[in-house]
Structure 1
Amino acid sequence: MSDVAGSDGDPLEIEVPADPLAGHPASAYLWGHVAGSGDVGEDTVEVVTNDETSANVLAAVAGGDIDHDTTSREYAHDASITRTEDEYTLEIGAGEDDDGPTDAGDGLFGRSGTLGLPVDGRGHYRFSAFASHDRELLRGILEGCGTICFKSSSGTVGISFVHDDEALLEATRELIEDCPVDAPMGDLSETSSGGYWFGVDDDAAPAFGTWLYEDCEETGLYAPSRERKLRKSLEQAEAYD
């Protein structure tokens, strides 16, 4: 177990797996995040999140150093709109000690380069090891490359996934199709910025979002800011009705 400071200052108790590559809820959450907003290099794994608590949870699971910055970026669905937000970058991999750089393999979970990581040579992720932990895997992907919003024009909750990697979004769609909640989705489409996106149907978004976060406080494997956004959006939709 590892204690992580939550958004309210109270510690979150995280069950940390002995091997962050084995099938485990925490490793599924980690690799969902890496797939959604990360990068796997020869010497390091890097993952980016906008939630400080989530960054600390990921560091508790996999180790590494967190760097905090503020960034402005284009909105995925409309490149004419920019937003400024906190950004926490976790770098896992080769570090330095008193004698200089340490061995990269030691930093990458004892593996030599990317060998043995859940990503193939073309950059496609292999999620089979986390098949029993689809909720945590999907939650990590959503927090890495997804959006939750209240649509004031229709009074509904919107949940969508946006990424440059079409294959990742296709894999995400398969995970959603296999989840225990009926969650129809729209077609995979191109964004104005050159990536791809799809959304869960508005009628299914409340049930899907509730299922996705229903056990998060027990495990600590979540971004509190994203859970609050979902809860607020659901409350707004109910008030609209």
Structure 2
Amino acid sequence: MSDAGAPTEVADADDATDSPAEIELPTDPLAGHPASAYFWGHVAGSGDVSDAGIEVVANDEESAQVLAAVAGGDLEHDTTTRDYAHDTSITRTEDEYTLTIDSDNGNESGLLGRSGALGLPVDGRGNYRFGAFSEYDRELLRGLLEGCGTICFKSSSGTVGISFVHDDRALLECVQELIDDCPIETPYDELSETSSGGYWFGVDDAVALEFGTWLYEDCEQTGLFAPSRRRKLERSLEQAKAYDE
């Protein structure tokens, strides 16, 4: 596990000539801190917590390295093909980086210094508790978007689409509450069922540009973001602007 509180460096492969961002790590991955908020957003969006440990999946190598720096664990790389959440007739192939943190991962006191999963920000029913990260809602939302969100350019309307997809309806309701509290007035759709049996909702296209810009604003200063996801957002925004012209 990385030394808590020490800065670590993570390089963006597409920006090899730039200095890699120094990431300030929390002394405790459960305490209120931008990096821990980003980490638990990812865990909630694409992970699983149990007494055996934590497993979280990322599609971006740099962000996976950040998650490992925050809480330790082992990273494995694989390629997977899965159904598209909104339409199971469409498949997509992606890189997958799986971070596994065992309950006995070099820590005599258990998982992240707790005796079991109930000591983490997850209650007995599997619901996440984000109160400790209330001052870092942007990093938490960014982790959630990168864990269970999608960004796309809608060629039919020339707009950017931002949506959140997850099997847990309660988690998406929590995401909506976080969006309600963000400084950008961001309307969104009602929760709908996906063809794969989960749930999803989309941010109103009219505010997707402003919301997405706020979500990734100044992220390079902290290094708490997935470069590939930000590039996709930027490309989508450029396409939308070109469409208007």
| Secondary structure at the counterpart of residue 134 of structure 1 | helix
Correspondent of 1:127 among 109, 116, 130: 130
Tell me which residue corresponds to 1:4: 10
Task: Give the letter for the 1:141 counterpart.
Answer: L
8 Å contact 1:26–1:221 — kept in the other structure?
Answer: yes
| Structure 2 counterpart of 1:33, one-letter code | H
Aligned counterpart in structure 1 of residue 145 of structure 2, from 139, 142, 159: 142
CA contact (8 A) 1:46 1:92 kept: yes
Contact 1:94 1:105 in 2 (8 A): no
In the alignment, is the contact (CA less than 8 A) between 1:184 and 1:200 conserved in 2? yes
SS in 2 for 1:204: helix
Please state how far the C-alpha of 1:159 moved relative to its aligned partner. Answer: 0.1
Shift of 1:2: 1.1
Specify which of 71, 76, 80 is matched with residue 67 of structure 1. 76
Q: Can you list the C-alpha shifts for 1:153-177, whole angstroms capped at 9, x where unaligned?
A: 0000000000000000000000001
Q: In percent, how many aligned pairs have the same letter? A: 73
1:113: how far off? 1.3
Matched, 1:176 2:179: yes
- Stretch moving more, 87-96 or 211-220: 87-96
Q: Name stretches of at least 5 consecutive residues in structure 2 with no aligned partner.
A: 1-6
Among 208, 229, 236, the alignment partner of 2:239 is 236
Question: Which among 75, 78, 89 is matched to residue 87 of structure 2?
Answer: 78
Give TM-score scaled by structure 1 length.
0.95
Distance in 1 between residues matched to 2:135 and 2:210, nearest whole Å: 20
Structure 1 unaligned spans of 5+:
97-101
Aligned pairs for 1:81-230 (under 5 A) are 81-94=90-103, 105-106=109-110, 108-230=111-233
Q: CA deviation at 1:5?
A: 2.6
In structure 1, which of residues 21, 25, 42 is the aligned counterpart of residue 30 of structure 2?
A: 21
Shift of 1:4: 1.8
Output the CA distance in 2 between the equivalents of 1:115 and 1:80: 38
Q: Letter of the aligned partner of 1:6 in structure 2?
A: D
Ranges of 4+ aligned residues in structure 1 off by more than 4 Å: 102-105
CA distance in structure 2 between the aligned counterparts of 1:35 and 1:228, rounded to whole angstroms: 23
3-state SS of 1:69 partner? strand
Quote the residue 1:50 is aligned against: 59
Q: Which amino acid counterpart does residue 158 of structure 1 have in structure 2?
A: G
Task: Tell me the CA shift for residue 41 of structure 1.
Answer: 1.3
- 1:93–1:104 Cα contact (<8 Å) kept: no
**Are 2:118 and 2:124, in contact at CA under 8 Å, matched by a contact in 1?**
no
Q: Work out whether residues 51 and 103 of structure 2, in 8 Å CA contact, stay in contact via their aligned partners in 1.
A: no
Alpha carbons 1:72, 1:84 under 8 Å: kept: yes
Quick one: distance in 2 between partners of 1:202 and 1:74? 24
Structure-1 separation of matches of 2:113 and 2:36: 15
**1:118-147: per-residue Cα shift (whole Å, max 9, x none)?**
000100000000000000000000000000
Is the CA contact (8 Å cut-off) linking 2:107 and 2:113 kept in structure 1? no
Contact 2:35 2:224 in 1 (8 A): yes
Report the Cα distance in structure 2 between the residues aligned to 1:116 and 1:16, rounded to whole angstroms: 20
C-alpha displacement at 1:6, in angstroms?
Answer: 2.2
Q: Name the residue aligned to 1:99.
A: none
Superposed displacement of residue 103, structure 1: 6.2
RMSD between superposed Cα atoms in Å: 1.3
- Name the TM-score, length of structure 2 as normaliser: 0.93
